[in-house]
Amino acid sequence: MDRPLCLSAAASVALILTLAGCVTVGPDFRQPEASVENQWFESLPSQAQSSPDAQAAWWKTFDDPVLAALEQRAYERNLSLQVAGLHIFEARAQLAISARNLVLQQGSLSAGAARLDNTGVGPFPPEHIWTEHFRATASWELDFWGKYRRQIESDHARLRVSEAAYDNALVSLFADVANAYIDLRAVELRAQVAKQNLAAVQQTLGITQSQYKRGASSMLDVEQAQALLAETEGQVPPLEKARAQDRDTLAVLLAQTPDSVDALLGPASPIPAAPSGIDTGIPRDLLRRRPDVRQAALTAASQSALIGVAKSKLYPSFSLTGLFGMSSGDQHSLGPLEWGSKTVTLFSAGVTLPILDRGQLQNAVRIQDATFQEALFDYQNTVLQAQREVEDAIATLRTTSASLGSAQRAADASQRALQLANAQYRAGSVGFDSVLNASRSMLHDRDALAQNQGQLALAAVSLYRALGGGWQVAEGRQVVNDGAIAEMEKRTNWGRLIAPPDYSPLARKVENADETKK
């Protein structure tokens, strides 16, 4: 006799478990294409090959111990960098939550006891009831379509995004500290030049007054000399204000007070000399060097996985539910009724199919897909922006370096011209207009030389920033300072999320953008 084909509950569960994990809906991420040139269009006069250490701690190539000390303090104390490090901790915790969904999504234990006293009414005798119960429930939605695996994939990429964002914050921090320090030293030099110019103008005023007393010049010459003196004196206060602003900027970057930063800076010192050569590599190196490029690629990878998460909700979901319960009760009364113990075990499997909300779920997939396409465009734009920044930085460094020699020659020539004008003015062969013009030219050219020296060093910093240098010094090191970690561990049990072992998916890793989740 033929029997209809049917499966027992146990066989159904076994079949579902066999099939679970075999399907993963949604696209698999591939590294997006980006327009990358083969060689830099701009080039520097000399391309010295820098060592890996110089590429990482590039500020050491300026050979300025104060700058090196400021960079180290900023790395240890900067508050914005600490916040970026805490974002990594948050991403680790989120990934750990997602990974747990592959086991059991829900589970609970409950236990209790109750006593009921009935004094009895009319013919009913009094009774005393005491009951106890214990229940355990668990439910598991099988990851048949890869919903949870795609979420883990997304959160893993999001963890790497937070790490790349931390590295990018490092690049900006080191460059910002160098910019503020170099600008401060350049302003100090310009203030020194302005005071030296002031002494020269005072000498010119003295010559004019002497000429006027001898009747060799007019009061107009004296007034013009006094006007030039006042004009030169007016250059000093703005420079002192600019130095104070640079010092205050450093105070924020180092998370210290301005007076303590002044102590670190010490007396005025020369502008750090820009390195003679910087290895710019090739444009494709930016995919590895620049943390913001890696961040954009990983953001796209995270968003790609979310498409699969949204798509999985269009398909039936399979769930398993288990219940185990025990209860007991004793009834003490004049009647003969007594309770015993009971045990309940329940196991069920269910299927849920979206029907009425299918349109909303489909639109949710479309939203995720459009967001993913935005991330692809953002990645491509980030690569183009990175190349533009490097090209601009190379051009700025090259042209500033070329103009430095011209600025030096102009300053030397204007100094000699002023000396000649003063001598000829004393001899009466030229009028005071010649001295006045020569003085103003000297003031301008010497200040321009000081500015140019500072701009050359700043241009080198801009190139290092554009190349994505500096984040390498943090490899293998904790992203939050020990004091903050100690406080967090007092409040909360962080377990291995603070310092995951190297083999853990939660461990900090720097991935090559060319190898991002294939």
Q: What are phi and psi of 458, to 5 degrees?
A: -65, -35
Beta bridge partners of 319: 141, 350
208 occurs within a structural domain: yes
Q: Is 321 helix (H, G, I), strand (E, B) or coil?
A: strand
The predicted structure's pLDDT at residue 12:
42
Quick check: is 283 in a domain? yes
**Residue 437 sits in which domain range?**
51-104+148-315+370-515
Please indicate, yes or no, if residue 496 is contained in any of the structural domains.
yes
CATH of the domain at 398: 1.20.1600.10
Is 131 inside a domain boundary?
no
Structurally, the chain folds into a number of domains equal to: 1
The three-class DSSP label of residue 110 is strand
Query: Which pLDDT belongs to residue 8?
Result: 40
Angle between the 219-233 and 147-213 helix axes, to the nearest 10 degrees?
160
Nearest 5°: the CA angle 156, 160, 163 is: 140
The per-residue pLDDT for 104 is 63
At 492 the three-state DSSP class reads coil
Q: Is residue 39 part of a domain?
A: no
Smallest Cα–Cα separation from 132: which of 346, 342, 333?
342
Q: How many angstroms from the chain centroid is the CA of residue 146?
A: 31
> Which stretches of the chain score pLDDT less than 50?
1-21, 48-49, 51-53, 332-339, 513-518
Tokens of 163: 């790490």
Give Cβ neighbours of residue 238 (< 8 Å, ≥ 6 apart).
Answer: none
Q: What is the pLDDT of residue 224?
A: 84
Q: Is residue 70 part of a domain?
A: yes
Q: So what's the pLDDT on residue 5?
A: 34
Instruction: Please tell me the number of Cα atoms within 13 Å of 110 on its side-chain side.
Output: 12
The answer to whether the CB of 265 falls within 8 A of the CB of 185 is no
User: Which residues lie below 8 Å from residue 395, measured CB to CB, with a gap of 6+?
Assistant: 42
Reduced to 3 DSSP states, what percent helix, strand and coil does the chain have, rounded to the nearest 5? 60, 10, 25
List the one residue out of 144, 16, 158, 149 whose CA is nearest residue 94.
158
Chain centroid, CA 280 distance in Å: 22
Cα distance between residue 70 and residue 270, in whole Å = 16
- Phi then psi for residue 57, to 5 deg, are -95, 70
d(CA 497, CA 489): 11
Q: What is the pLDDT of residues 104-134, one digit of tens each?
A: 656 666 666 666 666 655 565 666 666 666 6
In whole angstroms, give the CA distance from residue 206 to residue 417: 18
9 inside domain: no
Name the amino acid, one letter, at 336: P
- Helix, strand, or coil here: 173? helix
pLDDT of residue 427: 82
Q: Distance (Å, rounded) from C-alpha 185 to C-alpha 271? A: 5
pLDDT at 36: 85
* Residue 216: predicted pLDDT: 74
Cα–Cα distance for residue pair 422/119, rounded to 1 Å? 122
What is the per-residue pLDDT for 287?
85
pLDDT value of residue 37? 85
Residue 156 near residue 438 (C-beta atoms within 8 A): no
Residue carrying the six token digits 């007991």: 328
- 397, 46 contact by CB (below 8 A): no
Is 140 inside a domain boundary? no
